[in-house]
Amino acid sequence: MTISKLRYLVLYGVSNNTRSRWHNPHAALIGYAPQDDAEAHANRLAMPQDNLGDPATAFHGGEFCALEFTGDVESIE
């Protein structure tokens, strides 16, 4: 795909985080090349292990992700 053939493009400008759930393969089309990785600070922001299965802490969106959620967080890619 080339940028000249695009009519519009929706991108999410996000850092190059090791554990990111966001994939933005077309960002390079506009010259976006993320460099920073928050992993260097992860040890200072570690979440309690008992919250790992909670969608409010597992996903971008916080408590709104947990509304009416009845599935298994571990089964989501």
Domain positions in the chain are 9-72
Tell if the pTM clears 0.85, that is, is over it: no
Name the maximum alpha-carbon separation found in the chain: 49
pLDDT of 77: 67
- Contact present, 59 and 20 (Cβ < 8 Å): no
Tokens of 65: 């992700």
pLDDT digits (tens, 9 = 90+) for 1-26: 666 676 887 887 888 888 887 777 88
